Amino acid sequence: MPITSKDGRSRSDRLAKLDEFFDLVIVGGGVTGAGIFSEACKRGLKTLLIEQKDFSWGTSSRSSKMVHGGIRYLKEAKPGLTRDSVVQRDRLLKEAPGLVHRLGFILPSYNGQVFNRWMIRSGILTYDLIALRFTGRYFTPEQLQSLAPGIRQKGLHGASGFFDASTDDARMVLRLIQQGEAYGGIALNYCKGKKIIRDGEKISHFVVEDQLVDPLDSQKPENFTTPVQTRCVINATGAWVDNLRGQSGKKPIIRPLRGSHLVLPNWRIPVSQAVSTNHPQDGRPVYLYPWEGATIIGTTDLDHRADLDLEPRISLGEATYLLEAAQHLFPAAKITSNDIIASWSGVRPVIGSKPSKGKKIDPSKESRESLICDDQGLITVTGGKLTTFHLSALEGLEKAKPYLPGASEKAAGGPIIDPALAPEKLRTQLKPEVSEQLTTDQLSRICGRFGDQAAKVIAAADHGELDLIPATHTLWVELRWAARAEQVEQLEDLLLRRTRIGILLENACQEHIQKIRQICQSELGWDDLTWQIQAAKWREVWQQAYSSPFSGTMAQQQATA
């Protein structure tokens, strides 16, 4: 399989660098690892990031995509966590327009919930006070009809509203990784961290293994497993952190908790803001929200007992629970299981609390705070949230300081995300016939997602590729650019994480598969056989973990499980 992208460094260029000394090796290519990578590279540290599968393959492509202050932490009397989160949210909104957007939240209240209504309103007021930004609103039932058409009318009193934000989590990870590489770092996907080698107590090497080479292949290159010289390793492997920590005899700390989502075409429940309902079964909040042209229903919170190295998938029970929430809040939409076009699940890397009287506490009551610790040069950074990745990165680097004498403090306090071109500025660089095809929102999207590559992305468009992929906000050229320049190794990388059309379109994107094939073959040099293998693998992954749990293979597997 060809592994050279036409733009910038190739995979073999990156692999060749593994012979060199690195100040720091970061294990895990989720948002935590990517955030640390970007900061470390800015500080002049020679840094390597490795990800065992694809960048953001773990939880960081499977979140609910909210960049939020966590109004619920107020209820849990954790104002510090709320304060940190709203500050990070506001920084990301300012620094990454086009990637992080304001998203309105609506909390409807019904007859008999007078106390609840006042609790919500005072909660929002406190939340806004913490953020020093007053976004709280009250909507009448009539106003709600246009904001959330079809919302349950019976007993509806009105709704409280406020603003938070949402993003594309996988693109956030990629932007951070690309930023780190622009400062001289090396980031490799499909490269697994195997073990630490010590010289006395000090780390001397970290063994990494190329996952794209078949270990049984007699022709495999010598550097298929490489001991990389380093003094410090950051374990940013999310729900997997116990694997590396376990090598030095540490007890497991993670309680993996699964959360799942269902995807509907937006026209079935055309919400323009996130709408919350307390689930009729257990009172847990469930949200319906717009994302990338679809409506998402999420999420659940339960112990995940399956092998972490397999794609997590929604159970029929979770899917039924989420569907019930949508039917309860939007009865007029008459949603059925046939309306669900896709799903995804992720595993929260939650630090488990001590069981009380031998029983684990309710998953939703487990703390979402992060854990940072040092085991003689192996720094573990986990827990936390997508929203607060930058704080975890700073704390992780602070902990690693004794092992990083060369770190420059100059970068400290700079932006989390380096500024991209403003859309108006980008427009001035485009030919008039190109400019007229793109709205300002689309230019902003390209700047937000592709940073300083934005002009090159647009220039890469073939005929018709500045058009939208139907039912999504994605332009065809995003696919071409990602295939060309963003370390795509498998078809699933392109459809699930560089773009998100794999979870936004029905039936594993089959309607557009010939066009996708043409882009992959021209940009990645895949011959017909390689394409067929990739396409078959993609369909299998999609059916197992991203299809509607009510239909096809996933339903059959669940029925026989």
Binding site for ligand FAD (CB under 6 A): 27-33, 50-53, 57-60, 62-66, 68, 192-193, 236-240, 259, 299, 346-349, 382, 384-387
Helices (H), 302-361: 316-329
Find out whether 37 and 27 touch, Cβ atoms under 8 Å.
Answer: no
**From the CB of 501, what's the least distance to ligand FAD, in Å?**
20
- Among 272, 256, 14, smallest CA distance to 166 is for 272
Give the amino acid at 208: V
**From the CB of 35, what's the least distance to ligand FAD, in Å?**
8
**From the CB of 7, what's the least distance to ligand FAD, in Å?**
24
DSSP bridge partners of 294? 265, 291
Nearer to ligand FAD, 108 or 259 (CB): 259
Nearer to ligand FAD, 240 or 526 (CB): 240
Question: Which residue has the CB atom at the shortest distance from ligand FAD?
Answer: 30
**From the CB of 552, what's the least distance to ligand FAD, in Å?**
23
**From the CB of 27, what's the least distance to ligand FAD, in Å?**
5
**From the CB of 211, what's the least distance to ligand FAD, in Å?**
9
Interatomic CA distance for residues 447 and 476, integer angstroms: 16
Nearer to ligand FAD, 211 or 474 (CB): 211
DSSP bridge partners of 187? 49
Nearer to ligand FAD, 343 or 543 (CB): 343
Nearer to ligand FAD, 192 or 517 (CB): 192
Interatomic CA distance for residues 170 and 140, integer angstroms: 36
Interatomic CA distance for residues 68 and 86, integer angstroms: 7
Report the first-to-last Cα separation within the chain, whole angstroms: 35
Interatomic CA distance for residues 311 and 343, integer angstroms: 12
Nearer to ligand FAD, 319 or 454 (CB): 319
Nearer to ligand FAD, 291 or 330 (CB): 291
Nearer to ligand FAD, 105 or 531 (CB): 105
**From the CB of 357, what's the least distance to ligand FAD, in Å?**
27
Nearer to ligand FAD, 288 or 477 (CB): 288
**From the CB of 259, what's the least distance to ligand FAD, in Å?**
2
- Containing 108, the helix (H) or strand (E) segment is strand 100-110
**From the CB of 533, what's the least distance to ligand FAD, in Å?**
22
Parallel/antiparallel/unpaired status of strands 47-50 and 21-27:
parallel
Sign of CA dihedral 73, 78, 81, 87: positive
Buried b / exposed e across 210-249, counting CB within 10 Å, b at 16+?
Answer: bbebeeeeeeeeeebebebbbbbbbbbbbbbbbbbbeeee
**From the CB of 495, what's the least distance to ligand FAD, in Å?**
17
Nearer to ligand FAD, 64 or 474 (CB): 64
Find out whether 457 and 478 touch, Cβ atoms under 8 Å.
Answer: yes
Tokens of 553: 């293979």
Q: Angle of helix 31-42 relative to helix 169-182, nearest 10 degrees?
A: 20
Parallel/antiparallel/unpaired status of strands 225-235 and 21-27:
parallel
